[in-house]
Structure 1
């Protein structure tokens, strides 16, 4: 049976490849999605990939994930630093969470150093560019393989 990983992307990530390429690189979100789907598929995982600029939509996707998927990879964008609602939704989902940031948020503005999501995440990947998504998917594949052994 194929296991599903939900990859969620928050506000402005639809602008990857256009917005601040010196910080976020030149890959588009479509490029990241294709990489995640191909990489996950090669590891026997189904990847559901979503992006929204609307916090309520993100919360709905997280709620729908409850007990339906094996893990969440989330790049919450600016909601990282502002959304207690996403924090609470991730707790309610009862699904392992890995937080991903393309840039190293700890080398940036002070307001980016706090994360509501990190408080509920199994792990955080920051500063590895879009490779952070692949690293998170690899972690889930390894964890699921160990739990099935």
Structure 2
């Protein structure tokens, strides 16, 4: 199991066990370079600069036509993710018909960005959810 530690670079880190007991499941405490990006329960939210390794995502040259293809690519990726992991699909389906807000302060395109963003991740998750609902009802087959 890995835990995303930074929404800007999607750095993932393995869970860290708090106990030496092998029967105790690992605690989902993120470790690694981006752990300062995680908001701890009870802590105040504050906007922080992404660590230097997150800059790689913004400094890397984009493939020609990426702006036109990125939503299609993300839609296929999220479809694959939720069809390959039924436990995640159940969590998404449990949201019913609620609006999905992807809260990302670093992206005005993918995230809601405090109401100023376009929330494409949330929109695509709603699309994937509706396809899962249709598939479950026997209307749509993947």
* TM score, norm. by length of structure 2: 0.25
In proportion to residue count, which structure has more strand?
1
In proportion to residue count, which structure has more helix?
1
* TM score, norm. by length of structure 1: 0.24
Task: Compare relative contact order (CA 8 Å, sep 6+) and give the higher one, 1 or 2.
Answer: 1
